[in-house]
Each structure stands twice: as structure tokens, then as C-alpha cells.
Amino acid sequence: MTEASVTTTTPAGDTATTPDRDAGLGLRLLAADERCRRAFAEPGSLLRQIAYPAARRYLVADDLTGLLPRLDLLRTRGYRVSAEYVGEEIRDEAEIEQVVQAYLDLLAADAGPLQLGFDLSNVGLLVSRDLAVRNTSRILTAAAVHGSEVVLSMERSELVDEIVSVFAELATAHHNVGITVQAHLHRTERDLPGLVALGRKIRLVKGVYAEAPETALGRGPELDERYLEFAEYALGEGARLALATQHAELLATAGQRGLLAGAEEIEMLHGVRPALLRQHREAGYPCRVYTTYGQSWWLHLLHRLAEHPAMALRALADLADPSATAFGTDY
């Protein structure tokens, strides 16, 4: 079999050659490149200005004022909504407090119901575990008053031990905390039973971070099957399970196996495949749109393109015609 004939299935359900898989890896590596992160963060950043029209496809709003009416629009169309204040890994405590306050402000201003999602590295984990626990507890307490949940995001493999530990501690005191599980990590087979046993919401994703083969599976049929096996296990143990994927063929197989009927919801990231999510909503499945807002969107944009490298062409087209990213068109 020649390299050119090797294919795999992309999150959009198309076939991709090995070069396309490599393009996805290249985009993930670019997302993690500190030089790009620094260039993006500079005042008056040219990189930010150039890429912004492409980011608008995946970014719901620049700020809270722009976010709130769009959350309401999605709700009126029958979707559940999640919100994340986008950002990079943060070590400055003043910046961390700004992120925490952004979530508290959102909960105070939104009419709900709402689910929050964020990286622990954005609320203090890179400074200290205790700071991450304190800040996340503040948000969870406010979310409980609001009648909302927080589902912690999962991050690069080096941070997984601490994230799992923080989640386990928080789960003992907060009923409204959940966790994201990455199917591509080899360790997830060991972690999943303990996470499910805590009785909190599980958000199952494939995993977006570039990892070594000894740490994680690459995209392809083997990962798809592992994702379905983890879903079957979690549902069999009575877990509240969100199937977070934009992969059409994977969802079709999940439906054939009865997993869609058992899952609490299907979740998709805003802007990736809104028409596909609408099809599932119209078929009667509970569906959630995971929205993002804020200014630090570089990592978010690159990860969205990495999931389906052909979308890099769409991103270039968006630079030429920003009107193509008008919000809500396909929902």
C-alpha cells in the first residue's frame, strides 16, 4: 500500500490522505508555537488583524455584550448552550482573576440555563493547584445559584493527572461539576472507570492536542472505535454522557448502536458543522452548541482548523468574504 493510498476518516466524515493528517498535526504544532502566541498577543498585532475574519466563524462574540443575545438566539431555536471565555495558558495572577471575573459576570448577566467550560490552566493551575481549586469553586458556587453546570476541559497530557485530581476533589463538594475525557489518550481506559464512578457529567471528545504515539492514538478508524467503546462503557455504568463530536459517520454509527438514544446530548463546537447539529436536533436529539467568546482566540482557531484541515481553505475564503461568517445562518 503506497503512502498516497492510506486514508482515514476526518471529523467531518470525509476521507483524508496521509498529507491531510500531517496538515492537521502541523496546525496543532502551529497552535502550540510560542512565537505565534507572542506575536498574537502583541498590542496592535498584525497576526490578529489578518486572522480575525477567519476566527469569526468559530468565535461567537468579542465580549459579553455581544455574546448574550446570541446565546438567547440559539436557545430560541431549541439548542442547549455552553460558553467558554477563550484564552491561553496563564501564569499571571492578575490575568487569572480577570478570567474568573469574566465567568462570574457572565453568570450574573445571563438568563440561563447555561453550561460553562474552561481550562484549569486559565484559572490558576499553572500557578498552583490550590489556586485552581479556589477559583473553580468560586465559579461553581455562582453557577449553582444560576442553576448551571461547569464541565472542566481537558488539556495536554502533562496536565491530566492534576486535572483529574482537582476534578475528584471538586466533585465531593459540588454536584454541578463535570469533566471532559479525551478518547485519544491511552490512559483514558484506566481513568474512565474512576471518573464515571464519581457520578458527574462526562463530556467525551476525541482530543485535539498533538501527542506522541506512545501517549495517544492519531485520528482514524481505531480512534473512532475507541470513542464508541468508551461511550458504551460510560452509558452502561449509568453516566450522564455528552457526545462531543462533529464527526458525521461516528454519530451515525453511534445511532446504530443505540448510543445517541442513551446519551444526555450531542454537542458540537460553534461554527464547525452547524447544519449537521441541526439535523440531529430536528431528529429529536438534545443538542448543545459550545460557544466561545473573548479576545484570545488564536489557539481556538488553529485547533478548529486542525480537526479538519480542509477548513483551512474555508478560512482563507473567509478572509476574502467576512460576510460568509454571519452568525446563526445554518442553525
Check: CB of residue 205 under 8 Å from CB of residue 182: yes
Q: What is the pTM of this model?
A: 0.86
Domains parsed from the chain with CATH numbers: 15-54+306-320 (no CATH), 59-296 (3.20.20.220)
How confident is the prediction along the chain (331 residues), in pLDDT tens digits per residue? 222 222 233 433 434 456 666 777 777 777 777 887 787 778 888 888 888 888 888 999 999 999 999 999 999 999 999 999 998 789 999 999 999 999 999 999 998 899 999 999 999 999 999 999 999 999 999 999 999 999 999 999 999 999 999 999 999 999 999 999 999 999 999 999 999 999 999 999 999 888 999 999 998 999 999 999 999 999 999 999 999 999 999 999 999 999 999 999 999 999 889 999 999 999 999 999 999 999 888 777 887 777 777 777 778 788 888 887 788 788 9
Q: Are 206 and 183 in contact (CB under 8 A)?
A: yes
> Quick count: other Cβ atoms within 10 Å of Cβ 129?
16
In angstroms, the Cα distances linking 136 to 1, 43, 93, 300 are 50, 29, 14, 21
First CA to last CA across the chain, in angstroms?
41
Give the C-alpha separation, 328 to 155, whole Å: 29
Rounded Cα distance between 178 and 170, Å, is: 9
The CA dihedral of 245, 168, 286, 314, to the nearest 10 degrees, is: -30
Cis preceding linkage at 113, omega within 30: yes
Give CA separation, 47 vs 6, 42, 52, 86, in Å: 35, 9, 8, 17
**pLDDT at residue 20 in the model:** 64
pLDDT of residue 246: 93
Q: What is the structure's pLDDT at 32?
A: 73
Give bridge partners of residue 204 from the DSSP assignment: 181, 243
Environment class of residue 242 by beta-carbon count within 10 Å: exposed (0-12), middle (13-18) or buried (19+)? buried
pLDDT at 192: 98
Q: What is the pLDDT of residue 320?
A: 82
Distance CA 73, CA 235 (A): 31
